[in-house]
């Protein structure tokens, strides 16, 4: 194969991977932000329901994304529609692939154990 063909093929493959990464988070709304729920009040509502919000962000697709712990003390990553507060996608710790860190209670094991101790101290 010629080197120019290899370069073109590499660029096509990189573009395909990049487009897959860009669509990783769900699409929630295209409504103007004036119609969205207040993000601070939304986070407080989740806390009142027993969710511990460690990280909050607004995605490009108009979702509120939280990472934290649910009321059963499981690590979660959740996406909500910013306009309605409806849950769109949820992943719990058992769904995440942390196997690359978890050999012999390695990095993720120590992190998880530490987070669980902090949670139980509350």
Residue 39 lies in a domain: yes
Residue 4 lies in a domain: no
* CATH code for position 92: 3.10.450.40
Average pLDDT, the chain: 76
Containing structural domain, residue 82: 26-120
Does the pLDDT of residue 66 top 80, yes or no?
Answer: yes
pLDDT tens for 8-54 read 666 566 655 554 444 477 899 899 999 999 999 999 999 999 999 99
Residue 109 lies in a domain: yes
Q: Residue 25 class from Cβ within 10 Å (0-12 exposed, 13-18 middle, 19+ buried)?
A: middle
Residue 16 lies in a domain: no
Per-residue pLDDT averaged across 45-71, rounded?
Answer: 94
Distance CA 58, CA 75 (A): 19
Q: How much is the pLDDT for 40?
A: 95
Residue 114 lies in a domain: yes
Per-residue pLDDT averaged across 91-111, rounded?
Answer: 52
Residue 78 lies in a domain: yes
Q: Above pLDDT 70, what percent of the chain?
A: 57
Residue 20 lies in a domain: no
Answer with the residue of higher pLDDT: 67 or 5: 67
Residue 90 lies in a domain: yes
Distance CA 107, CA 111 (A): 6
Distance CA 88, CA 65 (A): 10
Tell me the whole-structure pTM to 2 decimals. 0.59
Number of domains making up the chain:
1
Answer with the residue of higher pLDDT: 116 or 20: 116
Residue 76 CB: number of other CB atoms within 10 A?
Answer: 20
Q: Residue 85 class from Cβ within 10 Å (0-12 exposed, 13-18 middle, 19+ buried)?
A: middle
């Amino acid at each position: 194969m010629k080197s120019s063909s290899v370069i073109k093929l590499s660029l096509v493959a990189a573009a395909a991977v990049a487009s897959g990464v860009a669509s990783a988070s769900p699409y929630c709304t295209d409504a103007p932000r004036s119609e969205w729920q207040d993000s601070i009040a939304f986070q407080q509502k989740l806390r009142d329901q027993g969710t511990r919000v460690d990280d909050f962000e607004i995605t490009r697709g108009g979702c509120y994304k939280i990472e934290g712990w649910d009321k059963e003390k499981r690590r979660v990553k959740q996406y909500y529609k910013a306009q309605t507060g409806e849950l769109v996608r949820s992943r719990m710790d058992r769904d995440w692939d942390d196997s690359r860190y978890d050999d012999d209670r390695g990095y993720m094991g120590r992190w998880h154990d530490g987070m669980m101790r902090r949670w139980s101290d509350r």
